[in-house]
C-alpha cells in the first residue's frame, strides 16, 4: 500500500476535524503548527487545539497551555495556561502534571508553592514519568520544597536516567566526574554523557566533546571532540560555539582556520553567550579571522561584560583608553 503524502494526510485530518473528530483536530493543529502538508499558521493551530481541548482531549489541552504560556500567536496568559495544564493533568497527561508542578514551583500563573510542586512531581514520578523523577530528584538534592536528602535524590535521579532522561544522565555524570555525592568514576561519567548525547541532548554532546578533548574517562581524541561540539551546537548548546571557535583558532582536532573561528564565536555572540561575545570582540579588535572594527569590538566587550565575562571588562578598559 502506497504511503500517503503529507498533503494527503493534512486533507484527511482537515475533513475529519470539520466532522468533529477530536483526534483529527489535534493532528490538524499539529500540521498547522509544524508546517506539515500545509504552510505554518499559528492562528489556525491554536484554533484547532482549542476545539480539541474543548472536547476534553488532554494532549490538546497540554499543547494549548504552552501556547498561552509562551504567547505564541496570542497574548500570553499564564493563568489560563495553568488552568489548561490542570485539566490535562486531570486527564492523565504526565507532561502536563510536570508542567503544572513547574508553575507552582516558579509562581507562574499561580501563587508560588514549592511544597505543592513537590507533591505534583511526586505524583508524576510515582506514575513513571522520567521528567517527574528528574525534577523530584533535583528538589531533594537542593532541599527545595522538601528537606534536603541526597540519598533520596540519587534514587530518583537514577530512576530518571533508567527511563532515558538525558538531563538526569548529565547530572549524574557530573557527580561521577567530580566525585561529589557519588564515588569518582570518570569512565562512568563519560558513558553517561555519551548516552545523553545519543538521546539527542545538546548538553550531553557538549560534555562528551569535552571528555574527548581532555581525555576524561576515555582516550583523548580532539577530532571526535570537534564532531561532538558540532553536534552540540546543532542541538542548541550555545557553549559549543565557543569551543568550536577555540578548535578552529588553535588547530584542535582540525586545521587552523581563523575565519571559521570568528564565525563560530559570532554565532555564539548572537545568542548572547558571554565568552563568545568576548572572543568576537577580540576578533574585531585584532582583525583575527575578520576585518578589524573597533566599534564592533567595543559593543561586544560591553555586552560580554554585562554577561559576567571577567576578561571583557579589562579588554573594554584597554580598548577605550587606546581609542579615546
SS (H, E, C) 273-295: CHHHHHHHHHHHHHCCCCCCCHH
Q: Does pLDDT of 1 surpass 70?
A: no
Please tell me what DSSP assigns to residue 93: -
Structure confidence at residue 157 (pLDDT): 98
**Mean local confidence (pLDDT), 112-131:** 97
Distance of alpha carbon 37 from its chain centroid, rounded? Answer: 27
Please tell me what DSSP assigns to residue 307: T
Q: Do the Cβ atoms of 98 and 129 come closer than 8 Å?
A: yes
Element (H, E) at 48: helix 42-54
Q: How far apart are CA 244 and CA 129, in angstroms?
A: 35
pLDDT tens string 41-90: 999 999 999 999 999 999 999 999 999 999 988 899 999 999 999 999 99
Could you tell me the sign of the dihedral formed by the alpha carbons of 75, 80, 86, 88, in that order?
negative
SS3 271: coil
Q: How far apart are CA 304 and CA 64, in angstroms?
A: 37
Q: How far apart are CA 97 and CA 103, in angstroms?
A: 10
Structure confidence at residue 165 (pLDDT): 98
Q: How far apart are CA 135 and CA 128, in angstroms?
A: 13
Structure confidence at residue 21 (pLDDT): 97
Q: How far apart are CA 192 and CA 230, in angstroms?
A: 19
Q: Do the Cβ atoms of 61 and 96 come closer than 8 Å?
A: yes
Distance of alpha carbon 241 from its chain centroid, rounded? Answer: 15
Structure confidence at residue 324 (pLDDT): 85
Which residues make Cβ contacts (< 8 Å) with residue 166, sequence separation at least 6? 195, 196, 197, 199, 200, 201, 203, 204
Q: Does pLDDT of 2 surpass 80?
A: no
pLDDT tens string 172-208: 999 999 999 999 999 999 999 999 999 999 999 999 9
Q: How far apart are CA 217 and CA 221, in angstroms?
A: 12
Output the nine-digit C-alpha cell for 34.
509544524
Burial class (CB within 10 angstroms; exposed 0-12, middle 13-18, buried 19+) of 2: exposed
pLDDT tens string 290-305: 999 999 999 999 999 9
pLDDT band at 240 (very low <50, low <70, confident <90, very high): very high
Structure confidence at residue 308 (pLDDT): 96
Structure confidence at residue 72 (pLDDT): 84
Query: What residue ranges define each of the domains in the chain, with the CATH number in brackets?
Result: 166-237 (1.25.40.10), 239-324 (1.25.40.10)
Mean pLDDT value across the chain: 97
**Mean local confidence (pLDDT), 220-238:** 98
Q: Do the Cβ atoms of 242 and 273 come closer than 8 Å?
A: yes
Amino acid at each position: 500500500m502506497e504511503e500517503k503524502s503529507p498533503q494527503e494526510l493534512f486533507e484527511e485530518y482537515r475533513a475529519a476535524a470539520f466532522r468533529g473528530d477530536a483526534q483529527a483536530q489535534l493532528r490538524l493543529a499539529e500540521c498547522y503548527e509544524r508546517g506539515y502538508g500545509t504552510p505554518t499558521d499559528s492562528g489556525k493551530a491554536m484554533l484547532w487545539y482549542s476545539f480539541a481541548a474543548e472536547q476534553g482531549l488532554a494532549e490538546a489541552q497540554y499543547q494549548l497551555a504552552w501556547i498561552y504560556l509562551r504567547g505564541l500567536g496570542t497574548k500570553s496568559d499564564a493563568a489560563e495556561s495553568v488552568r489548561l495544564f490542570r485539566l490535562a493533568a486531570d486527564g492523565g497527561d504526565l507532561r502536563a502534571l510536570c508542567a503544572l508542578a513547574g508553575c507552582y514551583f516558579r509562581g507562574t500563573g499561580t501563587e508560588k508553592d514549592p511544597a505543592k510542586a513537590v507533591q505534583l512531581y511526586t505524583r508524576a514520578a510515582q506514575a513513571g514519568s522520567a521528567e517527574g523523577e528528574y525534577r523530584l530528584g533535583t528538589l531533594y538534592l537542593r532541599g527545595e520544597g522538601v528537606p534536603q536528602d541526597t540519598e533520596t535524590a540519587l534514587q530518583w535521579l537514577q530512576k530518571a536516567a533508567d527511563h532515558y532522561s538525558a538531563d538526569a544522565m548529565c547530572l549524574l555524570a557530573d557527580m561521577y566526574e567530580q566525585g561529589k555525592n557519588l564515588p569518582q568514576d570518570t569512565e562512568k561519567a563519560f558513558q553517561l554523557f555519551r548516552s545523553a548525547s545519543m538521546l539527542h541532548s545538546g548538553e550531553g554532546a557538549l560534555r562528551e566533546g569535552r571528555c574527548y578533548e581532555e581525555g576524561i574517562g576515555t582516550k583523548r581524541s580532539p577530532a571526535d571532540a570537534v564532531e561532538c561540539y558540532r553536534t552540540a551546537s546543532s542541538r542548541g548548546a550555545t557553549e559549543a560555539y565557543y569551543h568550536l571557535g577555540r578548535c578552529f583558532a588553535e588547530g584542535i582536532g582540525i586545521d587552523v582556520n581563523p575565519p571559521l573561528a570568528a564565525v563560530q564565536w559570532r554565532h555564539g555572540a548572537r545568542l548572547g553567550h558571554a565568552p563568545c561575545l568576548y572572543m568576537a570582540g577580540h576578533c574585531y579588535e585584532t582583525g583575527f579571522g575578520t576585518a578589524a572594527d573597533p566599534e564592533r569590538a567595543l559593543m561586544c566587550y560591553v555586552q560580554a561584560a554585562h554577561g559576567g565575562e571577567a576578561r571583557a571588562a579589562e579588554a573594554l578598559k584597554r580598548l577605550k583608553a587606546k581609542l579615546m
